[in-house]
Amino acid sequence: MVQTESFVILSMILFALGAMGVLVRRNPILVFMSVELMLNAANLALVAFAREWGHADGQLFVFFVITVAAAEVAVGLALIVAIFRTKRNINIDELHLMEG
Amino acid sequence: MEFLLFTGVGALAIIAAVAMLISDNAVHSALFLIGNFLCVAFLYLMLEAPFLAMVQIAVYAGAIMVLFLFVIMLLGAEKTPQASDKRRLGWVPGVALAAALSFIFAVGAAVSGGQIGTAPAPAEDALMQVVHAAPLPAEPAPEGANEARVAIAERRFDIYVDGALKLEGIEYGATEGTSFTVSAGEHIVQLSPAGTNVPLKTATVTVESGQALTLVLHGDTDASLSLTPAEPFDAVVARNTAAVKFFNALPDATSIDVVDIQSELFDDGRRVTPIVESVAYGATSKTALFNLREASNWTVIEGGSAEKVKAGDRTFILVRVNNTPVIEYRPERAYLTVITGLRAPDGTLQPNVLKAQQVSPLVFGSPQVIGQRLFIDYALPMQLVAVLLLAAMIGVIVLTLRKEHTPKPSRALRRKVSRPLTSVIASQTGTDVLHDTPQLTAPQEQTETVGD
């Protein structure tokens, strides 16, 4: 049986990669994908801990995370489409509508 | 071996994540992310979460990524324009953040010494079930006996497992509600008179993970009371078929046969269609499969004291259990059927049958466990999440259903006419237009005579 620690370390690495992607990439779709990567890393840690403690609640939380991620992706992509329609450009560095 | 597999799949996941980060084309990024999700789904399988792994593939790698690819291709946003590649700080903040996160995680790992938490609670994923098949003794407890004596005479018992009270005051015939979860491994089961913790009998049993073990309490006299584990079921139950095992707990029967009730007797006493044969006292029979579309009349012979049938030079005792409505088998289930005795008012033992359905323990991470948790324990959060999904759906529709800019017809093109056109013409030409225009005459009412 692979130790829980190994899974948690893998989940840390994936989370750090996702966080890096959010900051580095400027295509908003890629930023979203990086957020998904981070959520997945968190899910992996939850499942690993669920097995560690022999308790199914950790797996339950993964369900909720997946559901919320699906909702978030749907709304986020709709926002991107709406922004693209008005500005014909989705580079997040050039999106400063709300700047004072 | 397993660790090698983990290392390989984990490395693949990291490679896919890095490739997603650095690829220029957004479509390639999405495909790499799908690869990452598949790797994570494989890790879920290794973590005893098969249902989650399937959900991960279906929802993440399927639905969400299709949405991503759809939007990328819809917007033509595969590549960000090269001109805007000049970012103020480039890769510096991202790398710095990743380094900082790694540092924090490393510190956390170092502080905890690589050990997470204390010793985990063992998963309770095995079931134990007790069937009380010890008939009441012929004589009641003597006057003035103490509580334990009375409990023994009334055959009311408590069951302790490893010193912890698991079942309280079970009585003869108890088959339902007498199961409890235990951890896999070896356990000491103790039988005590109800209300006391005095060990009357102890048995050491071993249960495996995901197994259901049935203990049969049998015996006629106080001294012969014993707890015997029945053999577990191993056959996979087919459609329309019930798996049945027979346990011989009939006190004065050394061996019993269970045969089809309609089967004919041979001259030498054998039956044409035996179901199980030669089940010794305290033993479990092989698994018999009952096809429930056919009649499943069966009977127990030899032992008990019901109806005697003379066949050859052997005397059989027929126990007609088929006519009792309590024995009802349902398809795709497994039943342990305990043949035991029931003390009649005159003190004799009448054969009796107890049916105990084998409840399979809920395996950790299985859809059953998840479903039970999701729809019973976490029903309200699930409803809230459903509402959230609905809100997201409506939000998406509102966001994307914005009307296109259609230029409104300008007011200059259309002149408001406040007067009727005929009067304008009349005032310009000086003639009354209205009188020259043919007037529509109202059609005369036609009286239709309906011939009779």
HEC readout, chain B = CHHHHHHHHHHHHHHHHHHHHHCCCHHHHHHHHHHHHHHHHHHHHHCCCHHHHHHHHHHHHHHHHHHHHHHHHHHCCCCCCHHHHCCCCCCHHHHHHHHHHHHHHHHHHHHCCCCCCCCCCCCCCEEEEEEECCCCCCCCCCCCCCHHHHHHHCCCEEEEECCEEEEEEECCCCCCCCEEEECCEEEEEEEEECCCCCCCEEEEEEECCCCEEEEEEECCCCCCCEEEECCCCCCCCCCCEEEEEEEECCCCCCEEEEEECCCCECCCCCECCEEEEEEECCCECCCEEEECCCCCCEEEECCCCCEEEEECCEEEEEECCCCCCCCCCCCCCEEEEEEEEEECCCCCEEEEEEEEECCCCCCCCCHHHHHHHHHHHCHHHHHHHHHHHHHHHHHHHHHHCCCCCCCCCCHHHCCCCCCCHHHHHHHHHCCCHHHHCCCCCCCCCCCCCCCC
Query: Which of 384-443 (B) contact A at CB < 8 A?
Result: 385, 388-389, 391-393, 395-396, 399-400, 402
Whether B73 contacts B29, CB under 8 Å: no
Averaged over B136-146, what is the pLDDT? 77
The amino acid at residue B267 is D
ipTM of the complex: 0.93
Residues of chain A found within 8 Å of residue B373, distances taken between Cβ atoms = 56-57, 59-60
What confidence tier does B313 reach under pLDDT thresholds 50, 70, 90? very low
The answer to whether the CB atoms of A47 and B47 lie below 8 A apart is: yes
C-beta neighbour count of B7 within 10 angstroms: 13
Which tokens hold the place of B323?
A: 């006519």
| Maximum distance among all Cα pairs of chain A, rounded to whole angstroms | 55
Q: Is this model's pTM higher than 0.80 or not?
A: no
| pLDDT tens per residue across all 100 residues of chain A | 788 888 988 998 899 899 888 888 878 888 999 999 999 999 999 999 888 877 788 889 999 999 999 999 999 999 888 888 887 777 777 777 666 5
Report, in angstroms and rounded to the nearest whole number, the Rg of chain A calculated over CA atoms. 17
Give the C-alpha separation, A24 to A5, whole Å: 28
Q: What letters, b where the CB count within 10 A reaches 16 and e where it falls short, cover B320-335?
A: ebbeeeebebeeebbb
Is B105 close to A16, i.e. CB distance below 8 A? yes
Instruction: Please give the share of chain B, as a percent, with pLDDT higher than 70.
Output: 69
Q: What is the mean pLDDT of residues B316-335?
A: 56
For residue B264, the model assigns a pLDDT of 57
Cα–Cα distance, B238 to B291 (Å, whole number): 9
Comparing A49-53, B119-123, B272-276, the range with the smallest average pLDDT is: B119-123
Sheet harboring B126-132: ordered strands across?
B179-182, B126-132, B212-218, B226-229
| Model pLDDT, residue B325 | 40
pLDDT at B53: 93
B376 touches chain A (CB under 8 A): no
Q: Which residue has the higher pLDDT, B92 or B260?
A: B92
The predicted pLDDT at position B315 comes to 41
- pLDDT at B145 (0 to 100): 76
Residue B107 pLDDT: 79
Least confident of A19-23, B1-5, B394-398, B427-431: B427-431
Contact residues for B131 (Cβ-Cβ < 8 A; gap 6+): B174, B175, B178, B214, B215, B216, B217, B230, B247, B336, B338, B354, B356
Has residue B304 got a pLDDT over 50?
Answer: no
The confidence band for B317, taking pLDDT boundaries of 50, 70 and 90, is very low
Read off the tokens for A54. 């022999």
More confident residue, B353 or B227: B227
Burial class (CB within 10 angstroms; exposed 0-12, middle 13-18, buried 19+) of B252: exposed
pLDDT band at B260 (very low <50, low <70, confident <90, very high): low
Asked whether the predicted pLDDT for residue B312 surpasses 50, the reply is no
- pLDDT tier, B269 (very low <50, low <70, confident <90, very high otherwise): low
Q: Please tell me the total number of residues recorded for chain A in this structure.
A: 100
Tell me how far apart the alpha carbons of residues B354 and B132 are, in angstroms, rounded to a whole number: 9
Q: Report phi then psi at B144, rounded to 5.
A: 75, 15
Report d(CA B170, CA B313) in Å as an integer: 42
Q: How far is B68 from chain A (nearest CA, A)?
A: 7
Name the residue with tokens 């009730």: B261
Nearest CA distance, B421 vs chain A (angstrom): 44
Alpha carbon of A16: minimum distance to chain B alpha carbons (Å): 5
Q: Is the pLDDT at B150 greater than 90, yes or no?
A: no
Q: Mean pLDDT score of chain B, rounded to an integer?
A: 75
| Residue type at position A91 | N
B115 vs A contacts (CB less than 8 Å): 5
What are B158-212's pLDDT values in tens digits?
Answer: 888 888 888 888 888 777 778 888 887 888 888 888 888 888 888 888 887 777 7
Q: What tokens appear for B337 in the block?
A: 């059927």
**Pick the residue with more confidence: A42 or B356?**
A42
pLDDT of residue B308: 44
pLDDT beyond 60 at B119: no
Residue B54: pLDDT above 80?
Answer: yes
Q: Is the CB of residue A96 less than 8 Å away from at least one CB of chain B?
A: no
Q: In the predicted model, is pLDDT for residue B452 greater than 60?
A: no
pLDDT digits (tens, 9 = 90+) for B59-109: 988 899 999 999 888 888 777 655 445 455 567 777 787 788 878 877 777
Average pLDDT over residues B251-268: 64
Which residues of chain B have a CB within 8 Å of the CB of A13? 14, 102
